[in-house]
Structure 1
Amino acid sequence: MSVSVESVEPTTAASERDETGQVLRPHAEQAFAAELTALAEQDDRPRPARWKLSPWAVATYLLGGTLPDGTVITPKYVGPRRIVEVAVTTLATDRALLLLGVPGTAKTWVSEHLAAAVSGDSTLLVQGTAGTPEEAIRYGWNYARLLAHGPSRDALVPSPVMRAMAEGMTARVEELTRIPADVQDTLITILSEKTLPVPELGEEVQAVRGFNLIATANDRDRGVNDLSSALRRRFNTVVLPLPESADAEVDIVTRRVEQLGRSLELPATPDGIDEIRRVVTVFRELRDGVTADGRTKLKSPSGTLSTAEAISVVTNGLALATHFGDGVLRPGDIAAGILGAVVRDPAADRMIWQEYLETVVRERDGWTDFYRACREVSA
């Protein structure tokens, strides 16, 4: 016998809150609803069971393009097309997808948009932490009903994974390697047998067609809670790389800052591209341990200096320029953010940063204002 899991409607429709401007960060399926609708209307390719779009349309949604009617689909991910194609194809098979990479390589972003395009719902999410319990992946109980009436379907509280299995949708597990190993292994039966036993009721939930799971993992967490070989075999691993070029990274940062700026009601800064490129250059050089021209070797700080951190630095600088400046993004608006991102270890990282300022930034043409701003916040 199988357990039926019913969908739970939110008390206030998220789309309605978004239309009134009250949602700080709408889900992907809300923020890009128009693009998803346009793709669905013009998508004449075969779709796997319960998919909202065909694999081709899902890839187009992530990578961007122009539809036959002229509708422009904005890129959600800037990177090798083959990586996206492999990820989408994996979800159309019986293997789960593991997105692996260093911090800030858009694993969560890609996961959310894949779920939105495939299932139309990116909210069936388990956030992995060191304290994530087994119930977060399997199911829990309404203890008031459990104590009053004993184990029953009414007392059972389905997890996002259980709901995805019952409804043929895509579940997401973020930071899988942060979850304790014994809790991770709860997924083995789910992914291999496509079944979730409920022994308290003598029943089980069987996954219906359309179910799959996307997990993300940070390769900096290796050795924390490594996946067992049994669990790793249930995943097809796709590694998301850092942007190949400075131009690609500048493009990513610019797009995301524009999106975040709109949600935060910050004005556009058409002249901010120079500061964005400066932030990206600093992060790439310190991350790679060599200047862009390859002439000077550098020491790398302890932080990751990821694209996501660059986005955060620029967004914070834009807020400073808006609320405490003239609205134009300048070196003084980003200097403190860069310092906070680079200097994680007050002793070692500060020395690395000071050496970079004096040997690289100070001598670089056109960077005098940036050098002075960084010296001021570093003092």
Structure 2
Amino acid sequence: MTAPTTDTGLLRPHAEQAYAAELAALAAADDRPRPPSWELSPWAVVTYLLGGVLPDGTAIIPKYIGPRRLLEVAVSTLATDRALLLLGVPGTAKTWVSEHLAAAVSGNSTLLVQGTSGTAEEAIRYGWNYARLLAEGPSEAALVPSPVMTAMRTGKIARIEELTRIPSDVQDALITVLSEKTLPVPELGSEVQAAKGFTVIATANDRDRGVNDLSSALRRRFNTVVLPLPAGEDEEVAIVTRRVAELGAALELPPVPAAAEEIRRVVRVFRELRAGVTADGRTKLKSPSGTLSTAEAISVITNGIALSAHFGDGVLRASDIAGAVLGSVIKDPVADSVVWTEYLEAVVRERPEWADFYRACREVSG
């Protein structure tokens, strides 16, 4: 298990704060060409994300476990004049990868627009300090830059989370920014031209319904990289184990021994219900309405550790995770309850080594 390399004392430090020591070591060892305004070379950025050992012996903790080629494509995109769209189902680490890419490339992951149905155009373009606007009229001092405008001025990366949740007319405010690399300010008769190094990383969830699809004009401005779910059980277990350790350290949870067995069990449950078939391929299953993502598995285990540490005997047991597993699976009280009951009786009950998990789940299921 691993934890961030720098103790900041913050509950949720930004990537450039939590891993400041690693980024500094990479910068010192990095002798490869760097694109304009980049803190690291493309090779060093990928090493930061995937992990490795530097010539001086410094160990770089993997931030992402997945195909190397995907990250190489993403980083190469950032080195061109194209924006990057990270696409995938919930829990595929889109936000996590976006943050760490911005931290490694720009040294700043905080130029962020959080997309919602209420996101206004000012969040992408600019707004106004209305007190100054009324008192002085339009002026540079009265203008309130968006994170995108700030990134353009400083040659940094702007991050846009959940792009497809933003109304379509607001999304299209990005077209001129991404194609012309300028942001007009007609009220001042001026414009902001992007400094070298500026680009945008956006994320989008391809499982949401009722969201705003990107226009063809906007989609052409992005290179899209699809982040997949973990390919195998061992890979997903490794991801959950690493992130649980990081969260436990940040939250200062008491150490809980022997968590590996329960981590693997939660991952197995989630993967089987996601796939609609047991791991051995013998039993077909109904899938619940939720995504049962890796991120949810991390949350289940972290909650179980807190429960065990504060209200149990300090050992993570089936009874500590059963309630959180139930809450993750049953999003629709009617349909998902049927799915879960069938899974318990047809799969969990038939595994003698899962007898404790079966009893705990039946108890919390009522």
Question: Does TM, scored on the shorter chain, surpass 0.5?
Answer: yes
State the partner residue of 1:319: 306
Could you tell me whether the CA contact under 8 Å between 2:292 and 2:329 is conserved in 1? yes
Could you tell me whether the CA contact under 8 Å between 2:6 and 2:18 is conserved in 1? no
**Alignment length, in residue pairs?**
362
- The partner residue of 1:53 within 18, 40, 61 is 40
State the partner residue of 1:167: 154
1:13-59 alpha-carbon deviations (Å, 9 max, x no partner): xxxxx988641100000000000000000000000001000000000
1:215-251 alpha-carbon deviations (Å, 9 max, x no partner): 0000013552000000000000000000000000000
Report the 3-state secondary structure (helix = DSSP H, G, I; strand = E; otherwise coil) of the residue aligned with 1:140: strand
Question: Matched residues in 1 for 2:238 and 2:9: separation?
Answer: 28
1:45-92 alpha-carbon deviations (Å, 9 max, x no partner): 000001000000000000000011110000000000000000000000
Question: Matched residues in 1 for 2:256 and 2:150: separation?
Answer: 43
- The partner residue of 2:285 within 264, 283, 298 is 298
1:333-355 alpha-carbon deviations (Å, 9 max, x no partner): 10000000000000010011000
Could you tell me whether the CA contact under 8 Å between 1:40 and 1:52 is conserved in 2? yes
Residue type of the alignment partner of 1:344:
K
1:184-216 alpha-carbon deviations (Å, 9 max, x no partner): 000000000000000000000000100010000
User: TM-score, normalised on structure 2?
Assistant: 0.98
Note closer, same or farther for the CA distance 1:272–1:32 as it changes in structure 2 (3 Å cut). same
Could you tell me whether the CA contact under 8 Å between 2:6 and 2:17 is conserved in 1? no
Report the 3-state secondary structure (helix = DSSP H, G, I; strand = E; otherwise coil) of the residue aligned with 2:212: coil
State the partner residue of 1:64: 51
Question: 4+ residue stretches of structure 1 with deviation over 2 A?
Answer: 18-22, 267-270
Residue type of the alignment partner of 2:111:
L
State the partner residue of 2:113: 126
State the partner residue of 1:42: 29
Residue type of the alignment partner of 1:280:
V
Could you tell me whether the CA contact under 8 Å between 1:253 and 1:276 is conserved in 2? yes
State the partner residue of 1:242: 229
Could you tell me whether the CA contact under 8 Å between 1:258 and 1:268 is conserved in 2? no
Identity in percent: 78
Residue type of the alignment partner of 1:79:
G
Is 1:142 the equivalent of 2:129? yes
Moved more, 264-273 or 365-374: 264-273
Could you tell me whether the CA contact under 8 Å between 1:164 and 1:170 is conserved in 2? yes
Question: Matched residues in 1 for 2:162 and 2:181: separation?
Answer: 22
Residue type of the alignment partner of 2:358:
Y
Structure 2 segments unaligned to the other structure (5+ residues): none
Question: Matched residues in 2 for 1:261 and 1:326: separation?
Answer: 17
- The partner residue of 1:364 within 326, 331, 351 is 351
Report the 3-state secondary structure (helix = DSSP H, G, I; strand = E; otherwise coil) of the residue aligned with 1:291: coil
Q: CA deviation at 1:300?
A: 0.1
Structure 1 segments unaligned to the other structure (5+ residues): 1-17
State the partner residue of 1:97: 84
Note closer, same or farther for the CA distance 1:206–1:21 as it changes in structure 2 (3 Å cut). closer
Report the 3-state secondary structure (helix = DSSP H, G, I; strand = E; otherwise coil) of the residue aligned with 1:100: strand
- The partner residue of 1:348 within 326, 335, 345 is 335
Residue type of the alignment partner of 1:356:
Y
State the partner residue of 1:231: 218
Is 1:284 the equivalent of 2:274? no
RMSD: 1.1
Residue type of the alignment partner of 1:310:
A
State the partner residue of 2:201: 214
Is 1:189 the equivalent of 2:176? yes
User: TM-score, normalised on structure 1?
Assistant: 0.94
State the partner residue of 1:13: none
Note closer, same or farther for the CA distance 1:21–1:164 as it changes in structure 2 (3 Å cut). closer
Report the 3-state secondary structure (helix = DSSP H, G, I; strand = E; otherwise coil) of the residue aligned with 1:292: coil
